[in-house]
Structure 1
Amino acid sequence: MIKNNALNELRAREYEIDSKSRDLYNKKVELNDALDRILIDIRNTEDGINKKNILITSLNAKIDGLIEKSNEIHNEIIDADIPDFKLTVREIREKIAHNENEIISLGPINQKAIQEYDDEYSKYSENIEKYDTLKRERESLIDMQNKL
């Protein structure tokens, strides 16, 4: 009976150890799966970082090109010796204010001026046509007079 008790105790311990071993194995599988997912995430993140680094490099190259082009334009403007391009912001604002005051001093715009011009031009065109007609008629009369 002692042997049976000992055997039963050993079997119970074996079952307990086997159960713990299965639990540990399942946890190991879960941890390996989690590790695999983490590694995939890391690879995906690294790929994303690499793509963004490539984009950053490309954009930096474009920015460098634009800066170079801007500097070339700036140098061309300076070499052209155009006075307005050398003004400060304050001087430009003062010039704008001066020009706005000049426009105001000219007074209101005659909105009917275009219509008046069109009307006068139409009359002028009619008079030119009448003049051409009269000139032809005069020449015709002179020809008739010479024939008679």
Structure 2
Amino acid sequence: MNSLAQIYDREFRVRALREQGWGRGLMAAAALIWLWIAYLLIFPFSAGQGSNSKPVECESRAFHQDSRKYAVSYRADAGERCDAERDWAPILAGLLLSLPLAALGTGLYATGTSATRTVAYATEIARLNATKEI
């Protein structure tokens, strides 16, 4: 292989590994957002209204259970302070922010992986073609 081909091969491999790295990073960012959303939904919390009032202990949104037979909303059961503390708008905004990150990260990682595998395949084929057949 001549020197220009080696330079191009090396640059192609570096670009593929860089794409893989960016894909991993974007998927990790999306996973961190998902973990934060899970924390907000699963764990109980306390809501305070100010320095003079005592904090109110609130149930988690995900495991809210009403003791009565008919369904009651979280706001009606836990109160307005608990509902306002863990509003749905920031949770949904985080989820919407994470979806493009996850999609782009998956695409970049898949592209980088396929490019790396293609280069490894082409190198192995060239090596096998260069050897003498027995």
TM-score range, shorter chain: 0.3 to 0.5
The normalised TM-score by structure 2 is 0.35
Structure (1/2) with the larger helix percentage: 1
Please say which structure displays the higher CA radius of gyration: 1
Larger RCO, structure (CA 8 Å, separation 6 or more): 2
Structure (1/2) with the larger strand percentage: 2
